[in-house]
């Protein structure tokens, strides 16, 4: 490659110019997000079952759906949530499955079992991922009395949503907040009795009269006509005049008006009752582009509806923008810190200039690659570029140093550039390929680690390859300019050279002294002491520090976003829940740190981005604070304050306040989740309560709760079958005459500009409001009408507010939320306490489940990486002995890595494992430099011990420069200078700590093993 581009200067500069051009375009145009989408492919099946309690929903709807879904390929997990009126089944697939193929498979499976589901229950499927979370939530509320929330809901559904969806940058739009418009028919049962009309017959008439029916077609030789009966009533007035019986109009027995479905959901945005418009990006879409498009369109829409107040109550935009700006600033600081280290170690402005020029080239080269391959920018990508900085400069400096050495030996400029570059082609390539060899297996470990860290490893590899390419092509060309006036140093350079010689260079003596110690009298014993001492420190570190720091999937992060889950008494409706929240919301609105708040109560079919995750008693909150750089208190301190204030609200049954990203994946319900399963749901709540009582005082937990309970007050109609039969009625015939569930009788599309409106039937008056009136409901029999109380008794009892299922069994969780304590410590404490109480038949289905799987995969990646590294070094150096010598220091460098985590107060986690692989790559690069020069002296006939001493003296500066240059570049990551970097800072903590110890060990143990195992020593002894 060097020869090829050395002769083709214009081609080289064309490539570099292309990297800059496409890199700049990519920086502007590439999608920007916080993190890559790491969720497994998920399809949600949402089925509405009006009037059915949770246990009926679970057995008649969720169970048959789950059993059919279990037959599909690549299914990772199937779970369902069952509440009154709704079944929500989550089918989660392995990463091998694409979302599109998953959706097709689920749709086909549903078609196969439609006949097994209750009449009137129609499942709808939705794909779920990181794109499901709202990019922006717009709160729409009345500015004055000229408009109401129900009217805003109609406008949002019928006008605003279609307009937003017409924009190509917007993936989906969901409307939430109750007041779902419909044509409501409130029938008077007394009048129905008077005219001899039963509810069942009334609905049948309505269904058949208010519908467009295709009759058939007429076909002749030269024409084709369809025959259709248009029975659909085009407006409310015509619907009122619909004949339901000869000479009997609908308005004679019922009130007909354009109203809304009975509410069991509500929304409060920024302390104002509102209708929420949730805007989502498409899978793989650009979050900022989606936000820009939505905000521009909402400004125009607001002008069309001046009486509607529009505010943003929830957004991902701020955090993504802030994180990307922070990462650019962190990259800037990393470059400055790295260049400062180079100046101190090299005292060479030419080398500094070469590094300063090559770093932006690598940066824009990586961006160009990402742009051309359809990538995106996020914290992971920027972190990879920053991590590569120290290694990037090393390649360029090694080439430049060698060129300068040839010039100082008197060679002519062009010859020095040619010979100096060719001489280091092998060590530069070996160092690069060795680093790649040890980190690339992480790209193929599968599961969550591969999904989240593959972009980091890919970016790091691309950066390393571009750095290598530039060091052997561009740096030699740049040298023609840098050294055209010779190698003389300026006073400024001489000052830093003197500073280096008087400080850092003095450390060469102790290293040489240790090596001489290893070769003194009783040399075998001395080497044993050095090796045993290091192994002992490693063993003590792993034994004591690892348990102390604990393990986690990902460390907690302070994004400024907190979430809250609240459950009131199960029979509370959405309106009452909203009333009870008012004092808290008034307090919240006064807090100086508050930016936005989004409160969803209840659930609406098909709305996945906003939800209370239950009935009208369930509340889901998103509270956005100013970012952590502009407030004094951490998100966990704010959470404690919010938690204490929420606890003051009357009637709260369950309460959890936690940080955004509290669990590794959104499919995990809580950090600590002790799950019980059974074929019978009735015994599960008691088991979960026992477990919750046991774990509630575990250190680090802020809240505990059980996921569902038998606490929903239900009215049961107990029909006297003998009496019913004496009146000629069956239980089903009696139930069919009770209209209290907003039964859909028809669908009206009255205006072309409006969405279709459901025509719903409900009793007029108090029949739907209290049990005493319901008892007086007239039931039509063959002999006349009788009150419902004559045929049945109405009893109240407690049933299940919610029932959950997991992997075809009923399941319940005792859940625990935490602040920052490592999940392994919390889980270990929970296991110990539960076992002490004789509870062993449970699953750990919180973060610990993902942690065990991820760590198993990452350990495999480390082992495979080391094996691939050994094989690579064998090929490069044609020696198994030298290959093993270069990797022997790798496990010892873990000493510094673990101490780095302890000092930073971080757990052992997935990022720390990635940091370990990266550390190994840097250590190997330094070992390659030492071994390469050792072999060079070996070829010159210098004895093994003297070769080892010379390798230390010559390569001390570049080894230390690489280590401290990398450390300097990682400082912004370790200091968590960007939002979201808390998740990735353990990479830097491990690498920095490991480099401090590993560099020392490399300069001692690699030369010691090299000379002590050199075959020439046997020849020396024999001679």
Give the model confidence (pLDDT) of 689-717 as tens digits.
Answer: 999 999 999 999 999 999 888 877 777 77
Would you state the pLDDT for residue 759? 44
* pLDDT at residue 769 is higher than 60: no
Token readout for 966 is 């990398």
Residue 551 has pLDDT above 70, yes or no: yes
Instruction: Write phi, then psi, for 237 (nearest 5 degrees).
Output: -60, -45
What per-residue confidence (pLDDT) applies to 220?
A: 42
pLDDT at residue 33, rounded to an integer = 85
For 707-755, where are the E strands, in sequence order? 712-719, 743-748
Report the candidate in 51, 317, 255, 301 with the shortest Cα–Cα distance to residue 156.
301
Average pLDDT over residues 572-592: 91
Average pLDDT value for residue range 575-589: 92
**pLDDT for 103:** 92
Average pLDDT, stretch 730-737? 71
pTM value surpassing 0.95: no
pLDDT of residue 1019: 55
- Residues 365 and 371: their CA atoms lie apart, in Å, by 10
**pLDDT mean over 528-542:** 92
Task: Look at residue 163 and tell me whether its pLDDT is greater than 70.
Answer: yes
For 55, half-sphere exposure in the C-beta direction (CA atoms, 13 angstrom radius) is 12
CA 502/CA 606 separation, integer angstroms: 71
For residue 946, the tally of other CB atoms under 10 A from its CB is 11
**CATH architecture of the domain with range 40-128:** 2-Layer Sandwich (3.30)
The answer to whether the CB of 250 falls within 8 A of the CB of 256 is yes
Give whichever of 287-301, 606-620, 741-755 has the largest mean pLDDT: 287-301
Structure-token pair, residue 365? 């080269």
- pLDDT at position 598 is 95
d(CA 832, CA 884): 42
Task: Tell me the pLDDT tens digit for each residue of 477-515.
Answer: 888 888 787 777 788 888 988 998 899 889 999 999 999
For 303-307, 686-690, 766-770, 776-780, which range has the lowest pLDDT when averaged over its residues? Answer: 766-770
pLDDT for 223 beyond 80: no
- Please give the structure tokens belonging to residue 967: 């450390």
Taking the C-alpha atoms of residue 202 and residue 184, their distance in angstroms, rounded to an integer, is 14
How confident is the model at residue 535, as a pLDDT? 92
Backbone phi, psi, residue 14, to 5°: -65, -40
What is the maximum span of the chain, computed from C-alpha positions, in angstroms?
127
Other CB atoms within 10 A of residue 642 CB: 21
Q: What is the average pLDDT across 325-339?
A: 89
Determine the pLDDT at residue 621.
94
Query: CA-to-CA distance for 547 and 448, rounded, in angstroms?
Result: 24
Q: How far is CA 632 from the centre of its chain?
A: 27
Q: Report pLDDT for 1017.
A: 64
Contacts of the segment 782-789: beta carbons below 8 A, 24+ positions apart? 782/727, 782/728, 783/727, 783/728, 785/193, 786/727, 788/717, 788/734, 788/738
The helix/strand/coil state of 306 is coil
- The pLDDT value recorded for residue 217 is 39
Mean predicted confidence (pLDDT) in 347-376: 87
- Alpha-carbon distance of 905 to 703, in angstroms, equals 23
Q: Is the pLDDT of residue 221 over 60?
A: no
Question: Higher pLDDT residue, 529 or 251?
Answer: 529
Beta bridge partners of 600: 267, 620
**Cβ-contact 987, 971 below 8 angstroms:** no
Quickly tell me which residue has 């494992």 as its tokens: 913
Q: How high is the pLDDT of residue 1021?
A: 53
Quick: pLDDT tens for 829-866. Answer: 999 999 999 999 999 988 999 999 999 999 998 889 88
Instruction: Give residue 870's pLDDT.
Output: 87
- Mean pLDDT along residues 135-140: 95
For residue 396, what are the contacts with CB-CB under 8 A and spacing of at least 6? Answer: 351, 354, 355, 358, 467, 470, 471, 475
Is residue 267 within 8 A of residue 139, CB to CB? The reply is yes
CA torsion sign, 657 to 658 to 659 to 660? negative
Of residues 78 and 86, the one with the higher pLDDT is 78
CB 364 within 8 A of CB 19: yes
At 318, list the tokens: 């701020």
Going by C-alpha positions, the residue among 808, 897, 850, 841 that lies closest to residue 545 is 897
Per-residue pLDDT at 255: 77
Per residue in 512-523, pLDDT (tens digit) is: 999 999 988 888
Class of the domain covering 499-549+879-1022:
mainly alpha
Q: Was domain 1-30+347-488 assigned CATH 1.20.1640.10?
A: yes
- Beta-ladder partners of 280: 172
Ramachandran area for residue 485 (φ above 0: left; ψ -120 to 50: alpha; else beta): alpha
Q: Is the pLDDT of residue 762 over 70?
A: no
Mean pLDDT of 209-228: 43
Confidence of residue 231 (pLDDT cuts 50, 70, 90): very low
Phi and psi based region of residue 742 (left: phi greater than 0; alpha: psi -120 to 50; beta: remaining):
left
Q: Is pLDDT of 294 > 90? A: yes
How many CA atoms lie within 13 Å of 594's alpha carbon, on the beta-carbon side? 19
Query: For residue 261, what pLDDT band results from cuts at 50, 70 and 90?
Result: low
Q: What is the mean pLDDT of residues 69-88?
A: 91
Q: In terms of DSSP bridges, do strands 275-280 and 172-176 run parallel, antiparallel, or are they unpaired?
A: antiparallel
Picking from 505, 705, 723, the residue whose alpha carbon sits closest to that of residue 618 is 705
At residue 237 the predicted structure's pLDDT band, cuts being 50, 70 and 90, is confident
* Structure confidence at residue 766 (pLDDT): 52
Distance CA 358, CA 896 (A): 30
pLDDT at 309 over 70: yes
Q: What share of the chain is helix, strand, coil (3-state, %, to 5)?
A: 55, 20, 25
Q: Which residues, 6+ apart, have CB-to-CB distance to 642 below 8 Å?
A: 562, 564, 588, 623, 657
Task: Choose between 800 and 303: higher pLDDT.
Answer: 303
Give the per-residue pLDDT at 459: 92
Residue ranges per structural domain of the chain: 1-30+347-488, 40-128, 499-549+879-1022
Res. 764 pLDDT band, cuts 50 70 90: low
CA-CA distance, 208 to 191, in Å (whole number)? 21
Distance CA 991, CA 913 (A): 10
How far is 645 from 924, CA to CA, in rounded Å?
54
Split at pLDDT 50, 70, 90, the class of 756 is very low
* Average pLDDT of the segment spanning 372-398: 82
Confidence of residue 296 (pLDDT cuts 50, 70, 90): very high
Determine the pLDDT at residue 199: 67
Report pLDDT for 209.
58
Take residue 393 and report the two structure tokens written for it. Answer: 């400069």
Q: Which pLDDT score is estimated for 750?
A: 37
Angle at 539 between CA 537 and CA 545, to 5 degrees: 85
1000-1006: average pLDDT: 90
Total length of the chain: 1023
Q: Say which residue the tokens 């920018």 belong to.
A: 377
Which residues are 685's β-sheet partners?
none
The single residue listed with the structure tokens 């050395």 is: 6
Q: Which tokens belong to 520? A: 């003194």
- pLDDT tier, 755 (very low <50, low <70, confident <90, very high otherwise): very low
For the residues of 358-424, what is the DSSP string, one character each?
A: HHHHHHHHHHHHHHHTT--B-HHHHHHHHHHHHHHHHHHHHHHHHHHHHHHTT--HHHHHHHHHHHT
Task: Give pLDDT tens digits for 959-986.
Answer: 888 888 889 889 999 999 988 889 889 9
Nearest of 407, 429, 426, 509 to residue 956 by alpha carbon: 509
499-549+879-1022 matches 1-30+347-488 in CATH topology: yes
Average pLDDT over all residues of the chain: 84
Q: Where are the alpha helices (DSSP H) in 273-378?
A: 287-304, 317-346, 349-372
């Amino acid at each position: 490659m060097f020869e090829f581009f050395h002769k083709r200067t214009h081609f080289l500069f064309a490539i570099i110019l292309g990297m800059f051009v496409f890199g700049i375009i990519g920086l502007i145009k590439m999608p920007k997000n916080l993190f890559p989408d790491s969720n497994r492919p998920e399809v949600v099946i949402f089925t509405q079952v009006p009037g059915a309690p949770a246990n009926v929903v679970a057995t008649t709807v969720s169970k048959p759906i789950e059993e059919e879904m279990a037959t599909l390929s690549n299914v990772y997990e199937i779970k369902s949530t069952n509440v009154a009126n709704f079944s929500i089944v989550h089918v989660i697939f392995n990463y091998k499955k694409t979302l599109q193929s998953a959706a097709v498979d689920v749709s086909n499976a549903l078609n196969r079992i439609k006949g097994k589901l209750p009449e009137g229950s129609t499942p709808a499927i939705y794909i779920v991922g990181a794109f499901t979370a709202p990019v922006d939530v717009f709160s729409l509320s009345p500015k004055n009395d000229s408009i109401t929330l129900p009217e805003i809901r109609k406008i949002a559904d019928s006008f605003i949503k279609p307009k937003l969806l017409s924009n190509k940058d917007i993936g989906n739009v969901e409307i939430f907040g109750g007041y779902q418009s419909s044509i409501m028919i409130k029938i008077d049962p007394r009048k129905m009795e008077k005219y001899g009309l039963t509810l069942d017959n009334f609905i049948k008439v309505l269904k058949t009269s208010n519908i467009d029916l295709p009759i058939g077609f007429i076909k002749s030789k030269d024409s084709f006509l369809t025959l259709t009966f248009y029975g659909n009533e085009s407006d409310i007035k015509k619907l009122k005049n619909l004949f339901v019986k000869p000479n009997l109009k609908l308005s004679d027995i019922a009130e007909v008006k354009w109203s809304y479905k009975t509410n069991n959901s509500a929304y409060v945005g920024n302390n104002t009752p509102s209708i929420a418009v949730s805007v989502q990006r498409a899978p793989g879409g650009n979050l900022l582009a989606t936000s820009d498009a939505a905000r521009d369109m909402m400004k125009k829409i607001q002008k069309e509806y001046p009486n509607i107040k529009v505010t943003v109550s929830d957004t991902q935009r701020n955090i993504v923008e802030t994180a990307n700006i922070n990462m650019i600033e962190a990259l800037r600081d990393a470059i400055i810190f790295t260049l400062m280290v180079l100046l101190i170690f090299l005292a060479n402005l030419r080398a500094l200039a070469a590094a300063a020029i090559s770093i932006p080239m690598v940066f824009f080269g990586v961006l160009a690659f990402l742009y051309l391959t359809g990538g995106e920018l996020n914290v992971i990508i920027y972190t990879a570029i920053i991590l590569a900085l120290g290694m990037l400069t090393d390649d360029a400096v090694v080439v430049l140093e060698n060129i300068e050495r040839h010039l100082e030996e008197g060679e002519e400029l062009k010859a020095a550039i040619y010979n100096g570059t060719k001489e280091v082609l092998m060590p530069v390539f070996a160092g690069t390929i060795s680093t790649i060899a040890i980190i690339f297996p992480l790209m193929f470990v599968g599961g969550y680690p591969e999904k989240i860290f593959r972009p980091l490893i890919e970016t790091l590899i691309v950066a390393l390859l571009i750095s290598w390419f530039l060091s052997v092509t561009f740096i030699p060309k740049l040298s023609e300019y840098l050294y055209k006036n010779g190698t003389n140093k300026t006073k400024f350079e001489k000052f830093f050279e003197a500073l280096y010689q008087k400080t850092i260079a003095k450390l060469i003596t102790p290293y040489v002294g240790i090596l001489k110690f290893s070769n003194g009298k009783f040399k075998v014993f001395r080497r044993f002491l050095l090796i045993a001492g290091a192994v002992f420190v490693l063993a003590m570190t792993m034994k004591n520090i690892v348990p102390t720091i604990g393990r986690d999937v990902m460390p907690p992060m302070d994004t400024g976003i907190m979430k809250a889950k609240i459950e009131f008494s199960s029979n509370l409706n959405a309106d009452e829940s909203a009333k009870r929240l008012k004092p808290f919301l008034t307090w919240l609105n006064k807090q100086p740190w508050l930016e936005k708040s989004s409160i969803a109560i209840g659930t609406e079919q098909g709305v996945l981005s906003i939800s209370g995750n239950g009935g009208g008693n369930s509340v889901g909150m998103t509270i956005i604070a100013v970012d952590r750089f502009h407030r004094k208190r951490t998100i966990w301190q704010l959470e404690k304050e919010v938690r204490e204030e929420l606890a003051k609200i009357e009637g709260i049954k369950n309460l959890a306040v936690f940080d955004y990203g509290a669990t590794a994946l959104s499919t995990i319900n809580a950090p600590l989740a002790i799950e019980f399963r059974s074929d019978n749901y009735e015994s599960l709540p008691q088991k979960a309560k026992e477990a919750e009582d046991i774990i509630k005082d575990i250190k680090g937990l802020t809240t505990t709760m059980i996921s569902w309970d038998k606490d929903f007050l239900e009215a049961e109609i107990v029909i006297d079958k003998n009496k019913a039969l004496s009146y000629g009625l069956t239980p089903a015939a009696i139930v069919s005459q009770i209209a209290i569930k907003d039964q859909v009788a028809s669908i009206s599309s009255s205006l072309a500009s409006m969405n279709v409106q459901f025509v719903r039937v409900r009793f007029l008056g108090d029949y739907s409001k209290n049990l005493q009136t319901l008892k007086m409901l007239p039931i039509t029999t063959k002999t006349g009408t009788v009150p419902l109380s004559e045929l049945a008794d109405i009893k109240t009892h407690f049933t299940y507010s919610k029932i959950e299922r997991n992997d075809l069994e009923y399941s319940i969780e005792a859940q625990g939320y935490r602040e920052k304590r490592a999940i392994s410590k919390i889980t270990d404490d929970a296991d110990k306490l539960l076992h002490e109480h004789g509870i062993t038949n449970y699953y750990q289905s919180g973060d610990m489940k993902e942690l065990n799987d991820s760590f198993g995969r990452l350990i495999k990646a480390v082992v495979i990486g080391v094996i691939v590294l050994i094989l690579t070094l064998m090929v490069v150096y044609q020696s198994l002995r030298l290959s093993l010598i270069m990797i022997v220091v790798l496990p010892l460098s873990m000493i510094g890595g673990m101490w780095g985590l302890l000092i930073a107060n971080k757990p052992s986690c997935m990022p720390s494992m990635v940091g370990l692989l990266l550390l190994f790559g840097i250590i190997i690069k330094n070992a390659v430099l030492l071994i390469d020069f050792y072999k060079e002296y070996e070829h010159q006939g210098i004895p093994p011990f003297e070769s080892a001493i010379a390798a230390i003296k010559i390569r001390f500066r570049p080894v230390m420069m690489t280590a401290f240059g990398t450390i300097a570049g990682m400082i912004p990551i370790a200091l968590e200078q960007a939002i979201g970097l808390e998740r990735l800072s353990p990479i830097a903590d491990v690498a920095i700590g490991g480099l401090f110890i590993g560099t020392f060990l490399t300069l001692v143990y690699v030369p010691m093993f090299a000379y002590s195992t050199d075959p020439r020593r046997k020849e020396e002894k024999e001679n």
